Chains A and B, each alone.
Chain A
Amino acid sequence: MKQKSSVKERILDTASRLFYHQGYNSTGINQIIAEADIAIGSLYKHFQSKADLLYYYLEQEEIEYFANLEDYLKEEKQPLQKLLKLIDYRIKVQEHSNFSGCHFIKINAEIGQTDSKITQIIVEHKQKQRDYIASLINEIGAIQKLPMEKNILENSIFLIIEGAVVSTSIYGNTNDLKAVKKMINQLF
């Protein structure tokens, strides 16, 4: 039986699914209210506009991304293993979403620099991912030699993972993310 959820949750879940898989620009308010099975008045009671829904969607994704990541890594003690498991986490998310890519990169491709609030949310999310990797590399560097300068290593690993996530949506598989794991194993 389907769990009973609030109208607001239903709107947000539906909008999130459509924005992610169908695209923000291709999704109209009418489709959201039809698929969420609510009245248009209910939608505007909770959200001012479609753009407002988009902010909520990205904020929700941001919270979920890091909460689930923390949860996924919490048993792991060794920093290098944590870094490898971070890639496992992204593999898992991509397999789960049928290789649909990164929520934030997709919205950036659609909206990009035209909405400064959206740009800011995306930039902050990517910065947080970058910082997370930097922190793990600091931990690794505390107990073993790093193969290159710390900040070069942080940037390289962040960018390679991001590229491999984009690649999942091109090829419909996670081979490149798995290749990144092999590369990191060789690097250290």
Chain B
Amino acid sequence: MITISEATINDIKQIQNIVHITWPITYGAILSKEQLDYMLDLFYSDEALTLQYNKKEQLFYMIYEDQTNNIGFIGIEHHYNGEAVTKIHKIYLLPETQGKGIGKKVIDEIGILALNNNSKTLLLNVNRFNTALGFYKKIGFEVKEEVDIEIGNGYLMEDYVMEKPL
């Protein structure tokens, strides 16, 4: 059974563990080693994660299998840009858990949280070359637009913006 519960500041270390496992697998073939390291540091250093956690612009949840086994995390933001939209900023599941329908269940859980916050749509950005693109399409997300986001030092995030009505 999959459950999610709100992260505490003490979960930061585990979030870092998860991205250090999942990022090289997800982005190793898409981004240069330099950009991958740069982005890991930019988004997931102690300082950056603490800041994001404390700002509460996005809410972090830990994902558990059988109540105690942590297998991933999400970062989501309700009322995104003041609209009835929940944005999924971050969603990472450990590689050994993938392909078992867990991702779909997590998206369903996010959908429940989103509806409780009066959202009508789920929104996310995905790298245009990320294999997760197929997964998102399968579970009902559609590409809304293509965006290139500058993240400093000349690096770009080349994303699709995808949305799914609730």
Contacts and interface: CB of A to CB of B under 8 A. Distances in A.
A77 B152 contact: no
Contacts, number: 38
A145 B80 CA distance: 11
Interface in B113-155: 149-154
A136 B151 CA distance: 8
A12 to B, nearest CB: 32
Most buried by A among B41, B47, B154: B47
A77 B55 contact: no
Nearest to A76: B47
A135 B45 contact: no
Interface in A53-88: 77-79
Contacts of B150: 134-135, 138
Given A135-B152, A139-B151, A142-B42, A77 B52 contact: no
Interface residues of B, number: 16
A77 B153 CA distance: 13
A35 to B, nearest CB: 42
Contacts of A145: 57
Given A142-B42, A143-B43, A78 B51 contact: yes
Interface in B18-57: 41-43, 45, 47-48, 51-52, 55, 57
Interface of A: 77-79, 134-136, 138-139, 141-145
Interface of B: 41-43, 45, 47-48, 51-52, 55, 57, 149-154
